Amino acid sequence: MIRSRKKEMREIRHRRVRLGLKGNPSRPRLSVYRSGKHIHAQLIDDIAGRTLVAVSSLSPELKSDVKSKKTERATKVGELLARKALEQKIEKVVLDRGPFKYHGRVKALAEAARSGGLQF
């Protein structure tokens, strides 16, 4: 199977970032994925292998904001994620940015989650 160099480098970056990150029940992993139009974030307990909280720019609570700018949507996703996490008594998380730079939408989501009450 022929792979593109871009995809291969993205997978290498993702493995490198994930190498030192493990989520547990007391401090789950905040995994961020961004596509061309949307952004997704979830809190994962790696020990149990389950997702504790998942939010996306496609979530029903944020569906009306589809026409707003991508960075604004990322901020709203971060705020909603923090609110849902605090409802489940999750205060501390480990940020897993994946292969994406801590810049733009990923940074907006992380800072909104921080201002919403999550500790990284």
pLDDT tens-digit profile of 66-80? 678 999 999 999 999
Copy the structure tokens of residue 96.
């897993």
Q: What is the pTM of this model?
A: 0.86
Mean pLDDT value of segment 43-55: 92
Mean pLDDT of the chain: 89
DSSP calls for 86-119: HHTT--B-EEE-TTS-SSTHHHHHHHHHHHTT-B
pLDDT of residue 21: 75
What distance in Å separates the CA atoms of residue 26 and residue 90, rounded to the nearest whole number? 7
The answer to whether the beta carbons of residues 31 and 41 sit under 8 Å apart is yes
Top-level CATH class of 5-115?
alpha beta
pLDDT at 113 over 70: yes
pLDDT at 9 over 90: no
Mean pLDDT value of segment 32-59: 93
Percent of the chain predicted with pLDDT > 70: 98
pLDDT of residue 1: 54
pLDDT at 37 over 80: yes
* SS3 of residue 61 by DSSP: helix
What distance in Å separates the CA atoms of residue 37 and residue 32, rounded to the nearest whole number? 14
Q: Where are the alpha helices (DSSP H) in the chain?
A: 5-18, 70-87, 105-115
